[in-house]
Chain A
Amino acid sequence: DAKTTQPNSMESNEEEPVHLPCNHSTISGTDYIHWYRQLPSQGPEYVIHGLTSNVNNRMASLAIAEDRKSSTLILHRATLRDAAVYYCILRGFQKLVFGTGTRLLVSP
């Protein structure tokens, strides 16, 4: 089955940048790349999404490879509140693909 591939877990220190990778080799031309995160005991929340170009918002940046088969979510300065499971999701017409997510651990 098509899916996105993410590392199971990553660790970071507080105030350091974090780069969370995602491989999505099955992406189609019109599929959007979405990132969501789920904090402990909460429902998932939106982080960022993009189609082709790199995207920035107040939470994070999204770097999309030129061939769009991979992307990287960038948290510029990790805080303890960023500790969560991060999901990379492909959304297209009649298509919703995502993997098991990356658990981000942030140490003070």
Chain B
Amino acid sequence: KAGVTQTPRYLIKTRGQQVTLSCSPISGHRSVSWYQQTPGQGLQFLFEYFSETQRNKGNFPGRFSGRQFSNSRSEMNVSTLELGDSALYLCASSLAVESDTQYFGPGTRLTVL
């Protein structure tokens, strides 16, 4: 069974631009979560989707948004990029939510210049 895939793996953008990251969960998984990881802040939760509905949201500004499609694939978008948005963005999928194991993808490394 294929694991969680994230595209692109690496991305370089400039301040003020916007970016869209994609995550394909493991087949059959309906829950997708997004995390931001930076050296200074560690792993921080962005949001979680289940069956196309946002179930949880972390403390990030409105520039960060996401969505989930009917096939459980998910995208996250960051508008008006800032230097501080440079990070590794991780996606994780699970069958449902509370009691299930999350499987993480390799991440997308975003660099904002």
Contact = CB atoms under 8 A, between A and B. Distances in A.
A100 B51 CA distance: 29
A93 B97 contact: yes
Interface in B40-87: 42-43, 45, 48, 55-56, 58-59
Task: Place the interface of chain B in its size category.
Answer: 20 to 34
Interface of B: 33, 42-43, 45, 48, 55-56, 58-59, 90, 92, 97-99, 101-107
A73 to B, nearest CB: 15
Contacts of A36: 102
Q: What are the nearest 7 A-B pairs in CB distance?
A: A43-B104, A46-B101, A91-B98, A96-B56, A100-B42, A44-B104, A32-B98
B33 to A, nearest CB: 7
Contacts of A96: 33, 45, 48, 56, 58
A38 B58 CA distance: 20
Contacts of A100: 42
Given A91-B97, A101-B43, A43 B106 contact: yes
Residue with the highest number of chain B CB atoms closer than 10 Å, among A1, A31, A49, A85:
A49
Given A43-B90, A96-B33, A30 B98 contact: yes
B98 A44 contact: no
A43 B55 contact: no
Q: Which of B56, B103, B106 has the most CB of A within 10 A?
A: B56
Given A1-B59, A94-B56, A95-B56, A49 B99 contact: yes
